[in-house]
Structure 1
Amino acid sequence: MSAGSVAVVVPEDIGVPSWDLYELSIPCTVFGKPQPDLADPWYELRLCGSRGDQQDGDRAEFGLAVRTHYGLDDLADADTVIISSVPDACVEDGRPVDPELVKALRRAHEAGARMVSLCTGAFALAEAGLLDGRRATAHWMHTGPLARRYPKVRVDDSVLYVDDGDVLTSAGLTAGLDLCLHLVRRDLGAQVANQLARRMVVPAHRPGGQAQFIDFSVPASDEGGLGPVLAWALDRLDRPLTVEDLARRAAMSPRTFYRRLQAATGTTPLQWLLNQRIGRAQALLESTNLPVERIGALCGLGTANNFRHHFLKQVGVSPSAYRQAFPGPRTGAADGTGPGPAV
């Protein structure tokens, strides 16, 4: 499958505040470095400045200069447009978002581009009217101003990111990385996204509905930590697993295990298991010819009907439709008797 082109808007005051640099670096890292062994061609990345070809570069905090060779007019030619932030004054003081940027975002959307915001970039999409009537998010510190300023937007401050098809928004900082990996997962499949996440040494998949704010008041420790029991569970996804099974393996009471896992991941044990099983199913659908019934059993999702129900609810399409979106060579015999991939 073609990964397509990604245009990233470089904010006019990049680096003020300094975490803007981090959020700008996320799409550059995910989409800008070719990964020919994962997908060839990879994405084509373009950095688009608000003032066209900035030969001298924008002066950022710490004396860093950001140089771009594309302008806002180039957004309309991209398959995906990402805006990582807007100036602080647009968020805190109500200063209007750059009208030229707003026009460029509208043109790109009308041309069919997939529109993506990270953190305060949602203010630009909202100013362009692209979030009207849609559910959207931003960093929880900024969702209040976003909701007050744009009442037509259904602001949700409790999630990592929102995928509304052709328009996607995320919370700030690391949630932006979750959304970018989600885009790779949508475009190129679970296996490619998982391998890329592994190279970046980050979790392979955090669902968008996971809570933004996770209470880490229960300290992690090496002794009795959750890592070993979660790895144990991943090796046994094809088997019935209960909270009691996991708690027993972790040498905790079910109540303590439930609390510890929710504090660490923002989700419940059963939802965590379901997320892992769906992820395993996606990888098998992409890479094997195993029948749906067999995949459901291998992932611990029971009958074909139960598997289809959960997959459709989580992913938004049926297992068969998902498989058709990822043509290519697969392992395993069509009757399910051949070898499958190591998962």
Structure 2
Amino acid sequence: MSSTTETFEQYLHNFIESDWLSAIHTLLPEIHEVDRNAVQIWFRFYPLSLFRYLQSAEDLEKAVQGFAMLGRYELKDQIDTSHHFLYGHRYWKTVKAAIEAEAVVFENDDIDLAEEIRQLAAMSAEKLKIDVSLVIAIAAVGMMTLNQTGLENFKNAADGIQKPTGLMAKSPDKIVSERSKDDSQGVFGFLKTVNKKYSIIYDEKRNDGRFAITSDQEIAGASALDRSQNWQEKDSRCWEGVIPVECLSASCGTCWIGVIAGQEKLSEVSRRERKQMKVFGYNQPEGERPFMRLSCQAKASGNATIVIPPWNGVFGKKIYQNVQDVELEPATTSARELRKVVSEAAINKAE
């Protein structure tokens, strides 16, 4: 590896998780709305602080078990696919090549992180002949992916890029417009006051990537009623429906989701959900209706577009040290089995 590529990797390594989130926040006004929530969700699906803790663990298997982690949590196993829900995913090949090229010529290690992302996105946009607002998000994702996987793994990944299909094959403005719409309630729908029917869209690349939900119903509960296929064959964490669920009482952290669109149509975050999200470590933003939710707590009053993370765990106390106390009340047998692990993971003090 050349000294230049080492310099670029070291430059990225110098930033902590809060630096990256701050850079994304700075860039948000420049990112097209189609990816504005998606990029913030991605950075919470793959938190740098958790990665570095596991990377430095003397016994990785023990650390993973201690955090009750299930699913695919390592970026190195999904370098080309972790960002499939971003509109910018279609430009990944070009952006990835630009990042690899930047690693070879990089010299200015004093440059602001947001500005480095901005410049790399500009180079990619010029090559693609598109507006830069469409690639800033995927450029940021690419740089963090390199940061967590290393240049050699980054270059050698060959998972392939998913071709845009379904709604994701439309223009970014069309996608934003469609996301804002609710299902029709029929000719006399305006007369309905209860039992209105909506959709939760979990895969915009498929026309059937959605399940029905009744007004004021929890998202996880609605997901569990979808028996259209054997969900556990696709994800061993899924006992009922496409969203992994263990307890339905905010006790296990299994059912966390990112809300790409429609967060304003979900119920406000309860005190319990807010506390438990900190226990789990999912870095839920402030605000009454943030884009990170526990689907067993979020009730819908309209269509919403979500993305389901490929893993779950309980690491808030150890990683972020922002949990004051824990009171877990498992509601199912499987959740009770998790109780001991979850409680221990939540109350452990950082080493």
* Same fold by TM-score greater than 0.5: no
Structure whose CA Rg is larger: 1
Higher RCO (CA-CA < 8 Å; seq separation 6+): 2
Normalising by the residue count of structure 2, what TM-score does the alignment of the two structures yield? 0.30
